[in-house]
Amino acid sequence: MINASKVKSIAVLTGGGDAPGLNAVIRAVVRTGIGHGLKVWGIKNGFGGMVENQVIEMTDEYVAGILPRGGTILGTTNRDNPFNYPTMQEGKTVYKDMSGQALNNLRQRDIEALVVIGGDGSLKIGSEFYQLGLPVVAVPKTIDNDIPGTERTFGFDTAVGVAADALDRLHTTAESHHRVMVLEVMGRYAGWIALHAGIAGGADCILIPEIPYQIDAIIAKIEERQQRGRLFSLIVIAEGAYPQGGEISVSRIVEGSHEKIRLGGAGEKLARQLESLTGIESRCTVLGHVQRGGTPTAFDRVLSTRYGVAAAECLLEGVFGNMVALRKNEIIRVPIVDIAGKANNVTANDELLKAGRSIGICFGD
């Protein structure tokens, strides 16, 4: 390992899907590093930029004004894994281990340590580079909030706010037309966005991957509302939710991606089924990437800044192989090997899930 007193040059990259707050993390890493005399580099377009040597020097001016901006000024991708990298040979795509080339590109610029900002796939790659001897510190990023070891990932608060706002808007049109409105939200195989947005937006049913749903339970909730004169219903469904005995809804397969299966269609499938079985007009709205884009909330900006500062401080102290995390409003350090490749899901004992049941929300079971 590199001695902390000898670390003079570091790099930062953003991997996987974009999330509100990425630029705030980058800004905090750069300003903290430069403020302590470090040279800071930015790797463009995720881990692919490590392989392709797409590296730029970061300055205070480069990160000026980016705090409220969505996306990432460095660019990102969720398809380029240096340990299984796509190359062209005789007109065909061949996957090769290009991790050595990626490390050599860093050495050529005397880059001694790396901040990886990413979700589970990026953290796994970062952990593999750490095992090869590269000093790595990770920052948990995903709107899905499904990374273990931390109570919050940045980007989640913004995504929940977008979904809750959509529910507020769907409420008025559902009530006007006496419809069942289904809102499909992101989250992959975790139901955190659906759960939080559903509670905040007054949903009548919340369907999450952790609780396979029964269509009869949902219909019973709709009919119970009808009997009370509530002639409309709001349903939030996570993209990874599925019926008991059924399967998840897959929109497409993306070869070469860390996550080949792309979810989608659960909401439309449910809306069609409900309309057929109840005779009540049902409509589906899919938020999709709207949840990823735009200005991060104040909470996400603050959390992102705290994460970026903490990551840079790890490198300055010579504490490598950790992910910075939030627990009980304190920033802590968690070994990457303890969380890489693992997931954080909603449990049956989750306090918010229990609260939803107490106020009459149907979870499809």
Q: How confident is the model at residue 2 (pLDDT cuts 50, 70, 90)?
A: very low
Q: Please name every residue paired with 217 in a beta bridge, in sequence order, or none if there are none.
A: none
Q: How confident is the model at residue 17 (pLDDT cuts 50, 70, 90)?
A: confident
Closest CA to 219 of 209, 207, 208: 207
- The token pair at 326 is 């939030």
Residue with tokens 């079971």: 365
- Contacts of residues 279-283 at CB distance under 8 Å and 24 or more positions apart, as own/partner, are 280/178, 280/179, 280/180, 280/222, 281/177, 281/178, 281/179, 281/180, 282/179, 282/180, 282/181, 282/182, 283/179, 283/180, 283/181, 283/182
Q: Which of 45-59, 211-225, 336-350 is predicted with the least confidence, judged by mean pLDDT?
A: 336-350
146 is catalytic: no
Alpha carbon separation from 3 to 8, 103, 119, 251, 332 (Å, rounded): 10, 18, 28, 48, 22
Given the residues 18, 80, 120, 144, the one annotated as active site: 144
How would you label 99-137 residue by residue, b for 16+ Cβ within 10 Å and e otherwise?
beebbebbeeeebbbbbbbbbbbbbbbbbbbbeeebbbb
Q: Can you point out the beta strands (E) in the chain?
A: 9-14, 39-43, 55-57, 85-89, 92-96, 113-118, 136-140, 180-185, 205-207, 233-238, 250-253, 261-263, 282-286, 322-327, 330-335
- AA letter at 84: N
The pLDDT of residue 259 is above 80: no
Q: How confident is the model at residue 341 (pLDDT cuts 50, 70, 90)?
A: confident
CA distance 353 to 325: 23
Query: What angle separates helix 192-200 from helix 156-177, to the nearest 10 degrees?
Result: 50
Average pLDDT over residues 135-150: 95
pLDDT value for 90: 84
What is the overall mean pLDDT for the chain?
93
Give per-residue pLDDT as tens, 201-221.
Answer: 999 999 999 999 999 999 999
Q: Which of 36-50, 196-210, 247-261 is predicted with the least confidence, judged by mean pLDDT?
A: 247-261
